[in-house]
Amino acid sequence: MRNQYSDQFKWQVVQQYLYGKVGLKETAHHFGLDYSMVRRWVEQCRQHGPSGLRQTRRHYSPAFKREVLEKRWRDGLSIRQTEILFDIRAAGAIGRWERQYHSGGLTALEPKRTGRRPMSQKLPSPPPEPPADGERSHEELLEELAYL
């Protein structure tokens, strides 16, 4: 998913909501955003400060993913609460992890290779064997046919 909003814009929206006199939905409407996105930004900012609005490109280990899922299930947290608690900024990641875990267990949480697979290495063909005594080679047979 592409980050289409700058950190500065997100900060402006959060500030407008926190220090303005209108609610969440009105703030979202003013900026042409979905209110759930504004709510997410506000909660990230409350939990982690302005740095909570920055997009991160992180790769999570299967053990970390399992820890996140177990905490969510054990404490009855919503996906949004779990994202905020663990500072997971990729929307939908936890739901995806749950589906993967339920379909294939812990091994399904392993990262998948992306891109094209490497080409398979073809083994060089062995050189042709010399003809045994009394046998003619393929080339000799062709020469004889051409002569006739």
Pair (41, 71) in one structural domain: no
Domain total for the chain?
2
Pair (66, 101) in one structural domain: yes
Mean predicted confidence (pLDDT) in 66-82: 92
**Which of 77-81, 104-108, 144-148 ranks highest by mean pLDDT?**
77-81
Pair (47, 75) in one structural domain: no
Asked whether residue 36 is assigned to any structural domain, the reply reads yes
Asked whether residue 24 is assigned to any structural domain, the reply reads yes
The per-residue pLDDT for 57 is: 64
The per-residue pLDDT for 1 is: 41
The parent domain of residue 89 ranges over 62-109
The per-residue pLDDT for 2 is: 46
Pair (103, 68) in one structural domain: yes
Asked whether residue 141 is assigned to any structural domain, the reply reads no
Give a three-class secondary structure readout of the chain.
CCCCCCHHHHHHHHHHHHHCCCCHHHHHHHHCCCHHHHHHHHHHHHHHCHHHHCCCCCCCCHHHHHHHHHHHHHHCCCHHHHHHHHCCCCCCHHHHHHHHHHHHCHHHHCCCCCCCCCCCCCCCCCCCCCCCCCCCCHHHHHHHHHHC
